[in-house]
């Protein structure tokens, strides 16, 4: 039996074959890299690259779900470095080979052709070797994604971030990563770690990062419900466009430590996430010609690129953290103080940032902090008296400013005269929502009817 590809699937196929095979069976594991076990996903040497699934769900042996937990000596909900998981796969392969009645043969080489030859199957390797076997399993991994445009032949443009040495160029000042999925996040962390001056922008059509895992072991996110009854193809496409991405970012989650590192980079302005469409071909060519200190890194799952940068995030990460901590306090029935550590743990918020946010909320009279052994933080007033608008103003400043100015202070002339009214109307409409929802509404899962009506509008969930 020959297995072509010694990554995750090939290695586990070999492990399970070795455990069951009859004496005399030969199991050939063929791998072009020479490293049997880790494959692309678990071949990284960077320990910030951790599994995106808790250890209790990554056992190689279905009958021993705690196998990885015990082998690595970690908690069931730990997110192990992927390098360590690669070692685990190597160890399980070696163990299965040592105790098997069958024989494992590791062959280093790239299989170029698989063809029938009389009663057997013949494998032809790139170096000309030919190997006969009875059965062949293809475990060659995912095909590399097509780049969004023809890439210039320029060392500053990295087409595959997983190639050895691809991300070690001694500290690049600014990097654009095309894609905002888990691989793009790994690349951003590595690049920012190269130099404290490194700045990264990530871009995708939707501009959404994967969500963070919540603490503990949880069930995976359920798939979206795509209407009831048979769907026409057009309707199915529309539904998938509307809901598919929202599911993707919940299905493939980031380990909490990774999400915290990303949040920290965003808060310090070192990482920007953009949603943009269009124009990859021209921009990539320009990035190559101009000789600027800018690199285009194509992370797998790449999308299109545009050079229009924009730092604006309508609801900042800081506001999101502040709201999560406050709703947690509002949901704390007896109103007793809760420590920052517990709040950070419950919501997967980096504790250092939460401390700063709590300080701002205290200054704004939203939170009261108590010292001492039973100390912690509590709401300074009733949860139904604190609106979302109060929280945003406390941590991000006034609602609806125009280039840093209040809309009513803007001055326009001639044909642009009504712009000021337009911006004032925008602010009024935003206030209508944000001043209409309190912490209590959210914590008690009872949003006001006016908000329910907005959510029920047919295109409320459609991104544009
Ligand atoms: C960066 C990254 C992180 C991931 N993290 C997780 C995670 O945390 N948890 C999770 O469940 N999943 C994760 N995944 C998903 C992952 O793809 C799968 O879990 C799994 O590793 C895929 O295994 P595979 O064997 O199909 O591919 P691979 O592990 O890539 O193995 C394919 C192997 O085949 C070899 N090969 C290819 N062609 C030939 C040939 N012609 N001849 C000889 N050898 C060949 C390659 O060298 C490679 O080693 C991640 C994926 C990536 C890319």
Least confident of 60-69, 287-296, 436-445: 287-296
Question: What Å distances lie between residue 439 and 214, 313, 356, 388, CA to CA?
Answer: 21, 22, 20, 7
Per-residue pLDDT at 299: 54
The alpha carbon of 21 and the centre of ligand 1 are apart by a number of angstroms equal to 24
> Which atom of ligand 1 is nearest to 110's Cα?
42
Statement: residue 203 has pLDDT above 70? yes
Separation of CA 150 and ligand 1 centre (Å): 25
Most confident of 27-36, 346-355, 366-375, 447-456: 27-36
Q: How far apart are CA 88 and CA 59, in angstroms?
A: 9
Which ligand 1 atom sits closest to the C-alpha of 300?
Answer: 53
Tokens 């945003």, located at residue: 392
> CB pairs under 8 A, 24+ apart, for 70-73?
none
Find where tokens 């030919």 sit.
130
CA angle centred on 399, ends 395 and 401, rounded to 5°:
115
Question: Model-level pTM greater than 0.85?
Answer: no
3: three-class secondary structure by DSSP: strand
Higher-confidence residue: 374 or 333?
374
Distance 29 CA to ligand 1 centre (A): 15
User: Can you give the pLDDT at residue 298?
Assistant: 54
Q: How confident is the model at residue 297 (pLDDT cuts 50, 70, 90)?
A: low
β partners of residue 133: 121
The residue contributing the CA closest to ligand 1 atom 8 is 51
- For residues 271 and 209, the answer to whether their CB atoms sit within 8 Å is no
* Eight-state DSSP code of residue 444: T
Task: Spell out the domains of the chain, with CATH numbers in brackets.
Answer: 2-138 (3.50.50.60), 157-213+253-298 (3.50.50), 317-456 (1.10.10.10)
Cα 301 to ligand 1 centroid, rounded to whole Å:
14
Q: Whose CA is nearest to atom 38 of ligand 1?
A: 140
Amino acid 279: pLDDT: 40
Pocket test for ligand 1, best of 115, 127, 141 (most atoms within 8 A of CB): 141
Mutate to test the pocket of ligand 1, among 13, 37, 39 (most ligand atoms within 8 A of CB): 39
> Are 51 and 80 a contacting pair, CB within 8 Å?
yes
316/310 Cα distance (integer angstroms): 14
pLDDT at 292: 42
Q: Report the C-alpha dihedral over residues 410, 411, 413, 417, rounded to 10 degrees.
A: 40
Asked if residue 303 has pLDDT above 60, the reply is: no
pLDDT tens for each residue of 368-405: 999 888 889 999 999 999 999 999 999 988 887 777 67
The residue among 251 and 220 whose pLDDT is bigger is 251
Q: Please compute the mean of the pLDDT values over residues 451-457 and round it to a whole number.
A: 83
pLDDT of residue 277: 62
Q: Which residues line ligand 1 (CB under 6 A)?
A: 4-10, 30-33, 39-41, 51-53, 110-111, 139-142, 183
Q: Phi and psi at residue 19, in whole multiples of 5°?
A: -75, -25
- The number of the ligand 1 atom at minimal distance from the alpha carbon of 186 is 1
Tokens 């202070």 locate to 409
The pLDDT value given to residue 207: 82
pLDDT for position 288: 42
CA separation, residue 35 to residues 44, 87, 172 (Å): 12, 11, 30
Question: For residue 142, what pLDDT is reported?
Answer: 87
The better pLDDT of the pair 195, 60 is held by 60
- Centre of ligand 1 to C-alpha 217, Å, is 24
User: 117 alpha carbon to ligand 1 midpoint, in Å?
Assistant: 29
Share of the chain above pLDDT 70, in %: 89
pLDDT for the residue 238: 77
What band does 234 get if pLDDT is binned at 50, 70 and 90?
Answer: confident
Report the pLDDT averaged over residues 52-62: 95
Q: Give the pairing type, strands 376-379 and 367-370.
A: antiparallel
Task: Give the residue carrying structure tokens 């042996």.
Answer: 61
User: 243 with 252: CB under 8 angstroms?
Assistant: no
Q: How far is the CA of 86 from the centre of ligand 1 (A)?
A: 11
Task: For 277-329, give the DSSP string.
Answer: -S-HHHHHHHHHHS--SEEEEE-SS------------SS-HHHHHHHHHHHHH
| Most confident listed range (156-165, 263-272, 316-325) | 316-325
Both tokens assigned to 29: 């594991």
Q: Which residue has the tokens 């199915």?
A: 236
Minimal-distance CA residue to ligand 1 atom 31: 7
Record the tokens describing residue 161, joined without a space.
């971030």
174-182 average pLDDT score: 90
Starting from the edge strand earliest in sequence, which strands make up the sheet with 294-298, in order?
A: 157-158, 294-298, 174-178, 199-204, 271-275
Chain mean pLDDT for the chain? 85
Q: Cα(31) to centroid of ligand 1, in Å?
A: 12
Most confident of 22-36, 269-283, 369-383: 22-36
**Residue 169, pLDDT score:** 62
Ligand 1 nearest-atom number relative to CA 51? 8
Q: Which atom of ligand 1 is nearest to the CA of 162?
A: 1
Nearest CA to 273 among 314, 310, 315?
310
In this model, does residue 285 exceed pLDDT 60? no
pLDDT band at 290 (very low <50, low <70, confident <90, very high): very low
**Percent of the chain residues past pLDDT 90, beyond the cut:** 46
Tell me the C-alpha distance between 379 and 34, whole Å.
Answer: 59
């Amino acid at each position: 039996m020959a297995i072509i590809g010694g990554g995750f699937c090939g290695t586990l196929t070999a492990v399970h074959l070795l455990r069951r095979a009859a004496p005399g069976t030969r199991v050939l594991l063929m791998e072009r890299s020479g490293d049997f076990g880790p494959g692309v996903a678990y071949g990284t040497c960077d320990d910030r690259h951790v599994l995106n699934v808790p250890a209790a769900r990554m056992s190689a042996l279905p009958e021993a779900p705690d196998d990885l937990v015990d082998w690595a000596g970690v908690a069931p909900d730990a997110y192990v470095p992927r390098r360590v998981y690669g070692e685990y796969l190597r160890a399980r392969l070696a163990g299965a080979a040592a105790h098997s009645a069958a024989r494992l043969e590791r062959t280093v080489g790239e299989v170029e052709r698989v063809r029938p030859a009389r009663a057997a199957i013949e494998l032809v390797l790139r170096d000309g070797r030919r190997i006969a076997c009875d059965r062949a399993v293809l475990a060659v991994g995912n095909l590399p994604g097509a780049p969004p445009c023809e890439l210039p032949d320029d060392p500053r443009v990295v087409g595959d971030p997983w190639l050895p040495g691809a991300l070690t160029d001694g500290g690049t000042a600014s990097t654009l990563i095309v894609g905002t999925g888990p691989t793009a996040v790994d690349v951003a962390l590595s690049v920012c770690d190269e130099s404290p001056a490194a700045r990264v922008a990530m871009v995708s059509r939707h501009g959404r990062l994967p969500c963070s895992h919540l603490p503990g072991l949880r069930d995976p996110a359920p798939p979206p419900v795509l209407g009831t009854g048979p769907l026409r193809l057009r309707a199915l496409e529309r539904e998938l466009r509307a809901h598919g991405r929202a599911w993707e970012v919940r299905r493939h989650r980031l380990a909490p430590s990774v999400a915290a590192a990303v949040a920290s980079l965003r808060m310090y302005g070192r990482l920007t996430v953009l949603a943009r469409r269009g124009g990859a071909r021209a921009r990539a060519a320009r990035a190559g010609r101009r000789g600027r200190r800018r690199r285009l890194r194509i992370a797998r799952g790449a999308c299109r690129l545009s050079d229009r940068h924009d730092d604006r995030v309508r609801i900042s990460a800081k506001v999101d953290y502040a709201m999560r901590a406050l709703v947690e306090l509002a949901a704390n029935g007896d109103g007793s103080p809760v420590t920052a550590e517990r709040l950070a743990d419950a919501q997967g918020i980096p504790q250092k940032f939460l401390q700063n946010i709590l300080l701002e909320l205290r200054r704004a009279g939203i939170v009261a902090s108590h010292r001492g052994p039973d100390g912690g933080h509590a709401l300074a007033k009733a949860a139904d008296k604190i609106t979302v608008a109060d929280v945003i103003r406390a941590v991000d400043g006034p609602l609806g400013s125009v280039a840093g100015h209040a809309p009513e202070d803007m001055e326009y002339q001639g044909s642009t005269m009504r712009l000021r009214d337009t911006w004032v109307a925008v602010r009024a409409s935003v206030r209508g929502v944000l001043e209409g929802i309190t912490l209590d509404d959210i914590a008690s899962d009872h949003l006001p009817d006016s908000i329910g009506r907005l959510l029920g509008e047919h295109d409320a969930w459609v991104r544009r």
